[in-house]
Every structure is written in C-alpha cells, then in structure tokens.
C-alpha cells in the first residue's frame, strides 16, 4: 500500500499554447484512504485518474505513489490496479482465467496463482462462477470479476473509473456496499471516479469535487455537504441542490428581486451577496411570519415532499415531512430558515464567506 501525491499537476493536449484541461491539481491521499473524485461530465476527473495510472502523460507537475515520483514510470511498473466502466473482461476466457491471466503474465508460481484467485473469489462471493464465461454472467457478476482481477494483483493502489455506471440502481447500491466492505478488509489506497453524488457521499472517506479541470474542494462528505467551499459545490452536492439567492445584504435583511427577506442573524457583510440554504433547512413559519413562498408544485417522494415555488423572482425548494399537510399549488406560505444552516458566498467569485 502507498500514499498518492498530486503536486500542481497540469494537463494540456498539445504544446504550451494548447488549452489547459487540468489546472494545477494538488492533493494528498494518505496510505489506505478511500478518496472519491466527483464532478460533472467533462470536468477532468477521469483524465486525472488516468494520469495517476500512467495512461495519460502529464504536462507539468508531479505525481508520486508511495513517495516515488512516477511521471516517467510505465503503467505496468506503478504497482496499481484499475477497474474500468466496461469491465474489460476477455470474453473467450473463463472467470478463473480472467482472474489468473495477469498473474500468469508475471510468471507467478501456479500454487500462488491458485491461492490468490481462490481468495479473491471467496471474498467477492464468485467462487461458484469460476468456470463460466463472461457472457454467462449478469452485469453485477461481471463487475465483481473485474474487481477480482484487480484484487489478485495485491497492488499498492486501486483506481476505479466509474465502475458502477452500467449497473441498475438496485445493483449499484448493493455493489457500493461490497466495495466499502472490501476496502475495510483490504485497506488499499483507492481513488474512485464518479459523476454520481450518491456514490461519492456513501463511499468516500474524503471527496475531491472537480469543476472545469480544477479541484473545488477536498473534504469528508460531511464537510463538503455542510460547509461547501464554493457555489458550484453547494449546487452540485445535494439532491435537490442548495437554494441560492442573489441579493444585497443590509444588516438583518437581504433584498432579492421582488422581495426583502428578514434574516435570523445579520449577514457577514453589507453589499451584494449570495445566500445558500438547503431545502431541508427551511421550514414552515409557525406564526405566519417569514419568507413568502408562492407554491408552484408539490412532489410526493414517499417519506417526504418537495415544495417548489417562487420567492420574489427566485426559485426556492422546501423539503417537508410527508406526514404534514401539503400546501396547494398557487398558495402563499411563510417559510423560515434555520440560522445555523445559512451559507454565504461572494457573488463574483463564488467563494464561501465565513462569518
């Protein structure tokens, strides 16, 4: 096992004048940690992972694995194992041979190959599938085989490139639990790329949120959710996303388009600000005072409802318990925000403003 260090890593496709796709990424992944790289399509997360794997050359900066700079080290010599989205299994080989192939290439003794394959098969609960071909397996079983092929190598680092994208929702949830269990048992340093924030929140010990080739925030799922560093993170992490209201702050009031909102505590400064509040941190005002929300639609989601409406000229979403009566469309209800859950951001740069 080994740590991973990214030191001002830059990637551009072409010469010095070519557009930059990774802008000076820096991060430290300690030995044994499970870090999820999450962001929208095209943000550079897979490119960053492929540079760690050695499948993409870096344009500037350093990547170190276990304290060794690997900028010019071939992928095969980096002691990493990668699990891809498309499984990449050999269709003509049995499950056993798929698991054993990489070990045979390395000329390991037959007894050791047998031991490693059987141990991985038992760990992943695929021992009964060893004689089957990939075409005889379900999607979830193929993904287990792909993970098993990585496990048998006993690498320093696991790299996962959106490995659950081809699975249905139920199977993704089950496989997430299996990956968490495997990490607890094996303790191998892991980087996991996904665009799915649910995967990121449930799998990560720490998350790396990317946008436009830049790392916006690194932190535990709790830190990222409860203290987003930028408006991008606030809007990307969370479903439904955080409500963001642009306005001008004056003491304990925020003037937005079409309304003046009383604040439970003064804004951190006067002038243009962006206020963020998550839907679950809004609640109906018991005394009828508060922010006047004109209800557009109500979504029933089982244990909860989402109330969508307009606050002045801004859209606002409120999450309420499904046991409470739902306001009808067209009604105006008063809502209030929990003061400890107000987030303030700079309008121009989108950076978080601490009180």
Nearest-angstrom CA–CA distance, 45 and 49: 6
Reduced to 3 states (helix: H, G, I; strand: E, B; else coil), residue 299 is: strand
279/339 same-domain check? yes
310/330 same-domain check? yes
Q: Calculate Rg over the CA atoms of the chain.
A: 24
Per-residue pLDDT, 1: 67
The pLDDT tens digits for 220-263 are 999 999 999 999 999 999 989 999 999 999 999 999 999 999 99
Burial string for 238-265 (b: 16+ CB within 10 Å, else e) reads beeebbbbbbebeeeebebeebebebee
138/256 same-domain check? no
Identify the domain containing residue 303 by its residue range. Answer: 243-345
The pLDDT tens digits for 190-205 are 999 999 999 999 999 9
Domain-embedded: residue 351: no
Domain-embedded: residue 355: no
194/50 same-domain check? yes
The pLDDT tens digits for 110-162 are 999 999 999 999 888 899 999 999 999 988 889 889 989 988 988 999 999 99
**Count of structural domains, the chain:** 2
Domain-embedded: residue 354: no
Length of the chain: 355
Domain-embedded: residue 126: yes
Domain-embedded: residue 319: yes
Nearest Cα to 226, choosing from 349, 110, 352? 352
**Is 0.75 topped by the overall pTM?**
yes
The pLDDT tens digits for 271-328 are 999 999 999 999 888 776 789 999 999 999 889 999 999 998 899 999 999 888 888 8
Nearest Cα to 38, choosing from 177, 240, 198? 198
Look up the CATH number of the domain holding residue 312.
2.40.50.140
214/303 same-domain check? no
Look up the CATH number of the domain holding residue 93.
3.40.50.300
Looking at 201, 235, 269, the residue that finishes a domain is 235
């Amino acid at each position: 096992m080994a740590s991973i260090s990214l030191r001002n890593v830059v990637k551009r496709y072409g010469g010095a004048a070519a557009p930059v796709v990774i802008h000076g990424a820096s991060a430290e992944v300690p030995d044994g940690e499970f870090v999820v790289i999450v962001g929208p399509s095209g943000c550079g997360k897979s490119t960053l992972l492929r540079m760690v794997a050695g499948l993409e050359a870096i344009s500037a900066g350093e990547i170190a694995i276990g304290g060794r700079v690997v900028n010019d080290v071939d992928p095969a010599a980096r002691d990493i194992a990668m699990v891809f989205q498309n499984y990449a299994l050999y269709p003509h080989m049995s499950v056993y041979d798929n698991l054993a192939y990489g070990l045979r290439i390395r000329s390991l003794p037959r007894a050791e190959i047998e031991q490693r394959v059987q141990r991985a098969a038992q760990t992943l609960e695929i021992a009964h599938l060893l004689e089957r071909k990939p075409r005889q397996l379900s999607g979830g079983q193929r993904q287990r085989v792909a993970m098993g092929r990585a496990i048998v190598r006993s690498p320093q680092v696991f790299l996962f490139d959106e490995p659950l994208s081809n699975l249905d929702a139920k199977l993704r949830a089950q496989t997430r639990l299996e990956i968490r269990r495997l990490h607890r048992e094996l303790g191998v340093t892991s980087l996991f790329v996904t665009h799915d924030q649910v995967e990121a929140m449930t799998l990560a010990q720490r998350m790396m949120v990317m946008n436009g080739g830049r790392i916006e925030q690194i932190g535990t799922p709790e830190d990222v959710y409860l203290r987003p560093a930028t408006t991008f993170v606030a809007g990307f992490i969370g479903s439904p996303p955080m409500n963001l209201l642009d306005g001008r702050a004056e003491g304990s009031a925020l003037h937005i388009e079409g309304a003046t909102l009383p604040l439970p505590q003064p804004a951190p400064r006067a002038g243009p600000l962006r206020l963020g509040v998550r839907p679950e941190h809004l609640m109906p005002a018991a005394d009828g005072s508060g922010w006047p929300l004109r209800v557009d639609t109500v979504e029933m989601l089982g244990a909860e409802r989402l109330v969508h409406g307009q606050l002045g000229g801004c859209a606002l979403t409120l999450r309420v318990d499904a046991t409470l009566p739902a306001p009808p469309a067209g009604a105006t209800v008063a809502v209030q925000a929990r003061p400890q859950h107000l987030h303030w951001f700079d309008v121009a740069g989108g950076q978080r403003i601490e009180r």
